[in-house]
Structure 1
Amino acid sequence: MAPTYSLNDLILYFLKLGTWGFGGPVALVGYMHRDLVEDKKWFSEEDYKEGLALSQLAPGPLAAQLSIYLGYVHYRLLGATLVGVAFVLPSFFMVLGIGYAYVLYGGLPWMQAIFYGVGAAVIGIIAMGSYKLTTKSLGKDKLLWAIFIVLAVTTFVTEEEILWVILLGGLAVWFAKSPPKWLSSGVNGIVPTIFLQLQPLATESKLWEIAWFFTKAGAFVFGSGLAIVPFLYGGVVKEYAWLNEQQFLDAVAVAMITPGPVVITVGFIGYLVAGVPGACVAALATFLPCYLFTVIPAPYFKKYGKHPAIKAFVDGVTAAAIGAIAGAVLVLGKRTLVDVPTMLIALCTVAILFKFKKLQEPYVILVAAAIGILLKLVLF
């Protein structure tokens, strides 16, 4: 079926989403569903589900991979490439600007005040996005709901998205709805283990170290962009000692108060380590693996996605992925909603978005930022 939109339309949409799409991966995948499937109807529910399932199965940041896949659906490699770049560039330039100010003024104390309000509002935004995604995708299917609950609980308890549990969700629906003729045949996730045996190139250049480390970050971290944070901490603070604890926390805060994919914090970290070249190398090294792990299997997802067994597997993985997203909302809420004011901001955000369905999230973010600054001035 011919697309009802042009490639320029899609690029412009993702430029806008990358410019004011706040809330991290959970919110971003929800925005894509609301805007591109429900409102504009540029993509079918099946296209979206296939993209979400593939993005969850492959390593790398969830929202960026889903954008790349949607670009691929009708416009193949050119669409995937241009859409991916359009989605990432706005927030990359923003973190470059913040990085410059951070180095120039020796830290950004105002960032914590802004994040105090914005972080709470973001929890409300992603909670609403997760609610809409859940009710739309799962319907009344009891098996899908059971998988959703299991993944939500395991993600909340372990505070990480476990790939093999997500795969089990797909297998459970596959075996229940379209049992394979040969039960001995299995489904294996593709993990680029060969890279684990390689060593970084012997060189004194810090850019090579940055390239190697962030390539591993993009290639081996599964789940949402938030899942990359513990990996980055282990390398950036502990292994290489490029940043201290406070600088790393500030880097995570930058990711949360800027729109676009959360993983763009790698650009901020790269800038602090080696200036603009470091930022460019870190961003490219992180996003290139996720781009390849999306476009290489994409044709097979498109070709075989309608097969009953594949469709059942994708439905199960989708339910598991949405459960993991819901669990991530709870984890983030536990860390962000630390007192009565932040809880009230989150609850008010949910109530306002539920009441005014057409309200744009950036307005909520701006108000929350102002409230955060005022509360910090009054309370502290």
Structure 2
Amino acid sequence: MTVIDGADRQDGAQPTLSELTAVFARIGCLSFGGPAGQIGMMHRSLVEEKRWISEERFLHALNYCMLLPGPEAQQLATYIGWLVGGIRGGIIAGMLFILPGLFVMIGLSAAYAVFEDTAWLDGLFFGLKAAVLVIVVEAVIRLGRKTLQTGFLRVIAALAFFALFFFGLPFPLVVLGAGLAGLAAAKMGDTPDLPLARTADLPKKRTPLRAIGSLLLWIAIWQAPLFLLWALSAPESLAAMFSFFSRMALVTFGGAYAVLAYVAQVAVEDYAWLHPGEMVDGLALAESTPGPLVLVLSFVGFLVGFREASGLGVIAGGALGAVLVAWATFVPSFIFIFAGAPFIERLRGNAVMSAALSAITAAVVGVILNLALWFGLHVLFTEVAKFSVVPSLGLIVSVPVFSSIDPAAVALFIVSAVLLFRFRLGLVPVLCFCAIAGLALRLSGLV
């Protein structure tokens, strides 16, 4: 098994593929809470507990993933899997980050399509969100302490948070701006000393011909289902759906919410795949499942297959539609990592580019802080209002309706914090405890 960063590793042993599979299977099953929670969970598991990669390597990978379209947490899992296990490790890590949530989404979509009721999900996942919020807070604290070592980097983090929380700027734009600021600072010599990778630790240079060949191969794998649909004379709606979501996968900058409104409009008004309001129900399902929030798109695929490919059987047709959308949506993430990560890794040996990436790292702390605050507001309060501070500048603040505070969620959040910070209990016991507590509270009618 090829390991790319031998000297940059921490003191943990090199994982075997079976160990990598077990760890990422657990992460995939417990990856609730959106990208902030998922990144925090990977940081805790892979850097703090397993010590498979260093803090610097983790952040370097995260910087690159934040610039890409698509689910950054799944791309980060793929990148880290590639670092410690080569191509096979990347495929295993990336797939296991998706598959548990996809299986759950298919099951929930089937229940929705047949029974048209999702209210029972509220009790099942109520407690998990409070526990995940603690994981997010812990990730912000850990990354902030280890990353924001200079005044320049602290300013970058603050500006990134301000741009996201008050102006709602897209993640990639904020991260790219931070990189340019770091590059300018490096040119002026106003950067801290940074640890650079030794030449022996860097991946070998790839010839342009080999890089292009690899890219074309992955693109062919990505679009293979489309040719199969045409060859098998499948319902035209399935091919149209696959083509549409393939295009969406290349422009989903800024996370799932940035593209969901557009997808909902097109799916309802242009293609009539969904009825009005069904996208909201799908979003509720996605927020209650592990994995990337963009899995909500597989809910759309399920309904299309359920209604248009019923010749296979309504459930089988729905499952086919969900898998097709997941393939169109997530395979590009593997392409971005396997094609781009070798070049990104070589930047670790360049002082100027490393300085620019350190600024991006600081911005990422601001990004995760924004995600944590947004997630916290929606976990601890049942109502969050938008307040316009300076309308002419588009300055808008999310403000909780304090009368809507959820005492049960607050209590579970505090208990989770005590268990994690004070008693150092593991993630799985804390998540299981909160899930059971949340379900019990819901069944008893207390929430």
Q: Classify the TM-score, shorter chain.
A: 0.7 to 0.9
Q: Which residue of 1 aligns with 2:261?
A: 230
TM-superposed CA distance for 1:231, in Å, is 4.0
Alignment pair present for 1:253 and 2:262: no
Alignment of 1:187-202 (within 5 A): none
| SS across alignment from 1:305 | helix
Larger mean CA deviation between 80-89 and 128-137 belongs to 128-137
**Pairwise CA distance, 1:102:** 1.6
TM-score (norm 2): 0.73
More helix by share: 1
Equivalent residue, structure 2, for 1:263: 294
2:54 to 12, 26, 44: 44
Aligned to 1:186: none
Cα displacement (A) at 1:270: 1.4
* 1:219-259 Cα distance to aligned partner (Å, 9 max, x none): 11124445443343333345434233542222222222212
Secondary structure of residue in 2 paired with 1:109: coil
CA gap of 1:335–1:20, structure 2 versus 1, over 3 A, is closer
State the match for 1:332 in structure 2: 375
Q: 1:115 to 1:11 in 2, by over 3 A?
A: closer
For the Cα contact (< 8 Å) 1:49–1:318, is it kept in 2? yes
Contact kept? 1:30, 1:133, Cα under 8 Å: no
On the 8 A contact 2:412/2:434 being kept in 1, the answer is no
Q: CA deviation at 1:278?
A: 0.6
1:62 and 1:225 in contact (8 A); partners too: no
Alignment of 1:140-179 (within 5 A): 140-179=149-188
State the match for 1:189 in structure 2.
none
C-alpha displacement at 1:46, in angstroms? 2.5
Query: SS at the partner of 1:143?
Result: helix
User: 2:68 maps to what in 1?
Assistant: 58
Q: Distance in 2 between matches of 1:369 and 1:241?
A: 37
Q: Structure 2 CA distance, aligned partners of 1:240 and 1:333?
A: 36
Q: How many Å apart are 1:324 and its aligned residue?
A: 1.4
Partner in structure 1 of residue 342 of structure 2? 299
Q: 1:33 to 1:121 in 2, by over 3 A?
A: closer
Q: What value does the CA root-mean-square deviation take over the aligned residues? A: 2.7
- 1:183-238 CA distance string (max 9 Å, x none): xxxxxxxxxxxxxxxxx999961112221222223211124445443343333345
Which whole-Å deviations, capped at 9, do the CAs of 1:42-87 have from their partners, x for residues lacking one?
1122221121011001111011000111122143322222221122
- The answer to whether the Cα contact below 8 Å between 1:178 and 1:308 also exists between their aligned partners in 2 is no
Following superposition of structure 1 onto structure 2, how do residues 50-199 of structure 1 map, counting pairs within 5 Å? 50-114=60-124, 116-138=126-148, 140-179=149-188
Deviation at 1:160, TM superposition (A): 4.9
- 1:318 corresponds to: 361
Q: Which of the two has higher C-alpha Rg? A: 2
Change in Cα spacing, 1:250 to 1:121, as seen in structure 2 (3 Å) is farther
Q: Secondary structure at the match of 2:120?
A: helix
Kept in 1, the 8 Å contact 2:106–2:302? The answer is yes
1:32 and 2:42 matched: yes
Which amino acid letter does the alignment assign opposite residue 153 of structure 1? Answer: F
Among all aligned residue pairs of Structure 1 and Structure 2, give the percentage whose two residues are the same amino acid: 29
1:216 correspondence with 2:225: no
User: Taking CA–CA contacts closer than 8 Å with sequence separation of 6 or more, which of the two structures ends up with the larger relative contact order?
Assistant: 1
Q: Indicate the residue corresponding to 1:362 in structure 2.
A: 431
Q: How big is the shift at 1:269? A: 2.5
Deviation at 1:109, TM superposition (A): 1.6
Measured in 2, the distance between the counterparts of 1:154 and 1:374 equals 41
Aligned-residue offset at 1:137: 2.6
Correspondence for 1:243 among 268, 274, 277:
274
TM (norm. structure 1) is: 0.84
- Report the alpha carbon displacement of residue 282 of structure 1 after superposing the two structures with TM: 0.5
Q: For residues 57 and 343 of structure 1, do their structure 2 counterparts lie closer, same or farther at Cα, with a shift above 3 Å needed?
A: same
Displacement after TM superposition at 1:273 (Å): 2.1
What residue identity is the alignment partner of 1:98?
Answer: L
Q: 2:36 and 2:432 mapped to 1: Cα distance? A: 19
Cα separation, 2, equivalents of 1:123 and 1:78:
32
Q: Are the equivalent residues in 2 in contact too, given 1:24–1:225 (CA < 8 A)?
A: no
* One-letter identity of the residue aligned with 1:309: V
Q: Given residue 295 of structure 1, which amino acid in structure 2 is its aligned partner?
A: F
Supply the distance in 2 between the matched residues of 1:37 and 1:133 (Cα, whole angstroms).
11
Equivalent pairs, count:
358
Q: Distance in 1 between matches of 2:145 and 2:254?
A: 21
Structure 1 residues 74 and 151, CA, compared in 2 at 3 Å: closer, same or farther?
same
Task: Please point out which of 292, 304, 307 is paired with 1:273.
Answer: 304
Quote how far apart the aligned CAs of 1:352 are: 4.2
Unaligned runs of 5+ in 1: 181-199
Q: CA deviation at 1:359?
A: 3.4
Does structure 2 conserve the Cα–Cα contact (< 8 Å) formed by 1:33 and 1:48? yes
Contact 2:238 2:304 in 1 (8 A): no
Greater CA drift, 214-223 or 236-245: 236-245
CA contact (8 A) 2:27 2:97 kept: yes
Partners of 2:270 and 2:424 in 1: how far apart?
Answer: 46
Structure 1 residues 272 and 121: CA distance shift in structure 2, 3 A: farther
Tell me which amino acid in the other structure corresponds to 2:431. P
Q: Which amino acid aligns with 1:289?
A: P
CA distance in 1, matches of 2:329, 2:39: 19
The answer for unaligned runs of 5 or more in structure 2 is 7-12, 190-225, 306-317, 383-403
Query: Does the C-alpha gap of structure 1 residues 115 and 269 become closer, same or farther in structure 2, counting only changes over 3 Å?
Result: farther
Quickly say closer, same or farther: Cα 1:238–1:114, change in 2 above 3 A. farther
